Amino acid sequence: MSTEPVKYNGVPVPAGETISFLAGKPVTPDCPIIPFIEGDGIGTEIWGATRLVLDAAIARAYGSKRRIAWLEVFAGDKAKAQFGKALPDDTLAAIKAFGIAIKGPLNTPTGGGMRSLNVTLRQTFDLYQCVRPVRYFPGVPSVVKSPQDLDVVIFRENTEDVYAGIEFKIDSDGAKRVISLLDEMGIKVLADSGIGIKIMSRMGSRRLVRRAIQYAIDHNRKVVTLVHKGNIQKFTEGAFRDWGYELAREEFADLIITEADLWAKHNGVLPEGKILLNDRIADAMFFEVLTKPNKFSVIATMNLNGDYLSDACAAQVGGLGIAPGANIGDKSAIFEATHGTAPDIAGKNLANPCSVILSGVMMLEYLGWKEAAQIVMQTVEKTIGARTVTGDLARFMSDSKQLSTSEFAQAMVDNMPPLPAAAVTVDTTATAIAAPTTANEVVAAPAAANEVVAVPESTQEAEARPETAAPATTASKDGASASPIDTVTAPAGTETKVSPAG
């Protein structure tokens, strides 16, 4: 065996273990190696704050028994500057090898240039669920009267729809050929058109809706709403709705009640233990989520609707600075801030780090480290509740104390419970480990169980992606959890036991 340390982008892998995946869930060792991407713009500042907070919470929850071995990987401007490429092969190889990553925001040019790095990451690792919980934190200024009425978890399909990247520029060979084909089919399109193609597969719709329903079951949520624009886009958005109901009938028949049945058979009252599955046309949904927010709980929708809806919902509870997100597949997951790089405040130590911190909470829950997740969540509530906040919130809170990004992170740590008596100082320095002979190859993953189904840039191969088996339908009543991350569930009888709490 080689004694050379494993390196990605020249950075030695720290001492730690590799997370493996079983039936769509991570099997978490006590010291998992987790790659992080700082991100562009405010990324460095908010990631630094997040790492401090997550490490402090893990130490408080588990003493020296558990820690994360962080591995920096590069993407975006930093990668371009150092390696001449915005998304180096080694970055993809590291995420593939270690399964889970967390990232700050990345710049994406509009109207040309390179493809979105975020979209590339989601499609490369087939992260088909974009999970965004939206809830209110008391004290956060909001534009609506009762922001606490909104508490939803949005499951946005993450790989298809108009995000599949099937686009042809005006006057390009591709645009001309598509226009000509349409002409042959009797469909007239102006010659000076750019063309984009929207796709939605049955498999892609069903696996997303399956996860959303399973999440509702696992978290004792009573309503799952399919959001679509099926009245206009019948064979994509309309089909998404139909496939969603079809899936529910096939796999969750004993638990699901449709809106029609609710009134026809149950007098409008949801029977105990059942979940209402309904659907809304997208425009009506935007109206209703604002006017009747407490009618909704879990939302499953397609890519573009989900993009719009999650930002609109985040605005209702106080903005993007506190909105976390996760991109989850069956064999990997990437947790990320939902906002952008905020170039206007980058480098000024002003940014609110809560979006990445709360994405870290989702990651901890996904790892099964619920105690640490709870410490971070409670500390966010406590710190914001004490009206000690960053400028984006402070300017709307008359009696608040404005903190810088780094001061907010320190206030979070100060607000945490004390370290357990037996805790020893955690050594977070990166210690190089000996390389397994093939582990540093771009396509080689250290653990066979962790293998990622790489999806080509086009989703034309969507049908090649494996559909997971039917999930268990027994509910675990964990309504208190504010994070959706343990939605990633295993098929009945095969649920992975993650490391127990320390």
- Nearest Cα residue to 108 out of 87, 132, 130: 87
CB of 152 to ligand NAD, least distance (A): 20
Report the residue number, 239 or 334, with the smaller CB distance to ligand NAD. Answer: 334
Report the residue number, 279 or 392, with the smaller CB distance to ligand NAD. Answer: 392
- Nearest Cα residue to 488 out of 103, 20, 19, 26: 26
Cα angle for residues 495, 499, 501 (degrees, 5° grid): 120
For residue 248, give both structure tokens: 């529910």
Strand 69-72 relative to strand 33-37: parallel, antiparallel, unpaired?
parallel
392 makes contact with ligand NAD (CB under 6 A): yes
CB of 103 to ligand NAD, least distance (A): 7
CB of 254 to ligand NAD, least distance (A): 38
CB of 247 to ligand NAD, least distance (A): 29
321 makes contact with ligand NAD (CB under 6 A): yes
Is 283 noted as a catalytic residue in this protein?
yes
Interface with ligand NAD (CB under 6 A), residue from 60, 241, 339, 465? 339
Interface with ligand NAD (CB under 6 A), residue from 336, 359, 411, 488? 336
Report the residue number, 301 or 355, with the smaller CB distance to ligand NAD. Answer: 355
- Nearest Cα residue to 117 out of 80, 83, 150, 157: 80
Contacting ligand NAD within 341-360 (CB under 6 A): 341-345, 351-352, 355
Question: Interface mask (CB under 6 A) for ligand NAD, residues 25-44, using x and -?
Answer: -----------------x--
- Nearest Cα residue to 334 out of 96, 71, 62, 84: 96
CB of 409 to ligand NAD, least distance (A): 13
Report the residue number, 352 or 487, with the smaller CB distance to ligand NAD. Answer: 352
In the bound complex, which residue of the shown chain has the CB atom lying closest to ligand NAD? 340
Contacting ligand NAD within 85-114 (CB under 6 A): 105-108
User: What span, in angstroms and rounded, lies between the C-alpha atoms of 472 and 490?
Assistant: 7
**Segment interacting with ligand NAD (CB under 6 A) among 11-19, 93-101, 337-345, 406-414:** 337-345
Report the residue number, 150 or 358, with the smaller CB distance to ligand NAD. Answer: 358
**Phi and psi angles of residue 121, each rounded to the nearest 5 degrees, phi first:** -60, -45
Is 307 noted as a catalytic residue in this protein?
yes
**Phi and psi angles of residue 164, each rounded to the nearest 5 degrees, phi first:** -65, -15
The length of the chain is: 502
Catalytic residue among 242, 307, 330, 392: 307
- Nearest Cα residue to 9 out of 103, 105, 82, 114: 82
Per-residue b/e over 23-47, b at no fewer than 16 CB within 10 Å?
bbbbbbbebbbbbbbbbbbbbbbbb
Report the residue number, 406 or 473, with the smaller CB distance to ligand NAD. Answer: 406
CB of 40 to ligand NAD, least distance (A): 7
Report the residue number, 32 or 48, with the smaller CB distance to ligand NAD. Answer: 48
Greatest extent of the chain over all pairs of C-alpha atoms, in Å: 76
CB of 412 to ligand NAD, least distance (A): 15
Contact (Cβ atoms closer than 8 angstroms) between residue 204 and residue 157: yes
* Binding residues with ligand NAD: total (CB under 6 A): 21
Report the residue number, 195 or 351, with the smaller CB distance to ligand NAD. Answer: 351
- Element at 214 (helix H, strand E): helix 202-218
**Segment interacting with ligand NAD (CB under 6 A) among 14-22, 57-65, 242-250, 333-341:** 333-341
CB of 264 to ligand NAD, least distance (A): 43
**Phi and psi angles of residue 251, each rounded to the nearest 5 degrees, phi first:** -110, -15
CB of 328 to ligand NAD, least distance (A): 15
Contact (Cβ atoms closer than 8 angstroms) between residue 321 and residue 339: yes
User: What span, in angstroms and rounded, lies between the C-alpha atoms of 79 and 107?
Assistant: 12
Catalytic residue among 8, 128, 136, 163: 163
- Nearest Cα residue to 98 out of 31, 11, 20, 8: 20
Is 62 noted as a catalytic residue in this protein?
no
User: What span, in angstroms and rounded, lies between the C-alpha atoms of 312 and 289?
Assistant: 9
340 makes contact with ligand NAD (CB under 6 A): yes
50 makes contact with ligand NAD (CB under 6 A): no
Interface with ligand NAD (CB under 6 A), residue from 320, 364, 412, 416? 320
403 makes contact with ligand NAD (CB under 6 A): no
78 makes contact with ligand NAD (CB under 6 A): no
Residues 116/121/126/130 CA torsion (nearest 10 deg): -70
Catalytic residue among 89, 283, 414, 478: 283
Catalytic residue among 96, 229, 331, 370: 229
Contacting ligand NAD within 115-144 (CB under 6 A): 118
Contact (Cβ atoms closer than 8 angstroms) between residue 411 and residue 372: no
Residues 255/499/68/439 CA torsion (nearest 10 deg): -100
Report the residue number, 66 or 339, with the smaller CB distance to ligand NAD. Answer: 339
Report the residue number, 27 or 121, with the smaller CB distance to ligand NAD. Answer: 121
CB of 253 to ligand NAD, least distance (A): 37
User: What span, in angstroms and rounded, lies between the C-alpha atoms of 270 and 185?
Assistant: 48
Is 229 noted as a catalytic residue in this protein?
yes
Residues 6+ apart with CB under 8 A from 19: 26, 27, 28, 29, 32, 33, 34, 98, 99, 100, 367, 450
For residue 165, give both structure tokens: 């990247």
Q: Which residues bind ligand NAD (CB under 6 A)?
A: 42, 46, 105-108, 118, 320-321, 336, 339-345, 351-352, 355, 392
| Enzyme catalytic residues | 163, 229, 283, 307
